[in-house]
Amino acid sequence: MKLRKVSAAAATALVLALTATACGGGDNNDDNGSDSGSGGGKKIKIGIKYDQPGLGLKEPDGTFSGFDVDVATYVAKELGYEPDQIDFVETKSADRENALARGDVKFIAATYSINDERAKKVDFAGPYLLAHQDLLVKADSDIAKGTDLNGKKLCSVTGSTSAQNVKDTIAPKAQLRTNSGYSECVAALQSGAVDALTTDDSILAGYAAQEQYKGKFKLAGLKLSNENYGIGVKKGDTATVDKINAALEKMVSDGSWEKAVKENFGPAGYQNEPAPKIGDIVK
């Protein structure tokens, strides 16, 4: 009789243990990649742009292309995730900090320029590319320098610092117009609703190289600012920052970085800067 009581207790304990294990299974498959990065059968969510040719673009067939996509894919592999384990999440400029704070994504590679204000809210790995703010104008435009924008209509995207930088330091009489994405700004430039689009030269080069825009636009060739692209990580997640930095260094050393630059920017004749050193922020 006593033996049966002990066996029943043991059976009850076993059921409870199995139940707890089953309930906790979801935590071991956190699909934002917030585990140790061991990969396995899990997924990792990475924030990118969907509308930036040459950097982060969702193609009509649902695949993704661009330099940021290649960098993110390389980094994810170093963290233990194969390409089919990556979920690319559209992350607009105005929502990048919130997406990381909410845990929607593990990291963000989306033309994310490192600056002091953003660094208060998120941690950055990198930089992995040094770009420069420039202007995209129509091929026959007479805008040749920043001050020519006074009295002109200037477009950029919500959450970007580029247009405000122009108005604050270069052309205070410029008329700012913001849209949710760069595609809308390019359409406005083509229709004549705006006179110029400002953002990083890498982004502008991607648009200028698209088949439907070839010969219609030109880059003004100005270096209005230095934009150090970093990979955004949730504030305090220093372990992930260290892993990403190691991955970026390896990407440069094994030639994958240079290959990605040529494949994504080469058709536009983009003159890229050399690969920056980790932690080397050019002001």
User: What are the residue boundaries of the structural domains of the chain, listed by start?
Assistant: 29-130+228-268, 131-219
The single-letter DSSP state of residue 15 is: H
pLDDT at 17 over 60: no
Q: 73 or 209: which carries more pLDDT confidence?
A: 73
The per-residue pLDDT for 157 is: 87
127 pLDDT tier (thresholds 50, 70, 90): very high
The per-residue pLDDT for 211 is: 82
**Fold agreement between 29-130+228-268 and 131-219:** yes
The per-residue pLDDT for 33 is: 61
Task: Convert the pLDDT of each residue in 64-117 to its tens digit.
Answer: 999 999 999 999 999 999 999 999 999 998 899 999 999 999 999 999 999 999
Q: Say if strands 153-157 and 175-179 run parallel, antiparallel, or are unpaired.
A: parallel
Task: Convert the pLDDT of each residue in 131-167 to its tens digit.
Answer: 999 999 999 999 999 999 999 999 988 877 788 888 8
The per-residue pLDDT for 162 is: 82
Cis-peptide into 127, omega within 30 deg:
yes
The alpha helices in the chain, defined as continuous H runs, are 2-24, 67-78, 96-102, 116-119, 162-169, 182-191, 201-208, 238-253, 256-265
CA 209 → CA 36, 115, 205, 244, 252, distances in Å?
A: 39, 28, 6, 30, 25
Q: 49 or 34: which carries more pLDDT confidence?
A: 49
pTM of the model: 0.77
The per-residue pLDDT for 268 is: 66
CB 130 within 8 A of CB 228: yes
188 pLDDT tier (thresholds 50, 70, 90): very high
Percent of the chain with pLDDT over 90: 65
Q: Which CATH number fits domain 131-219: 1.10.3720.10, 3.40.190.10, 2.60.40.10, 1.10.8.100?
A: 3.40.190.10
Task: Give the domain 29-130+228-268 fold.
Answer: D-Maltodextrin-Binding Protein; domain 2 (3.40.190)
The per-residue pLDDT for 206 is: 85
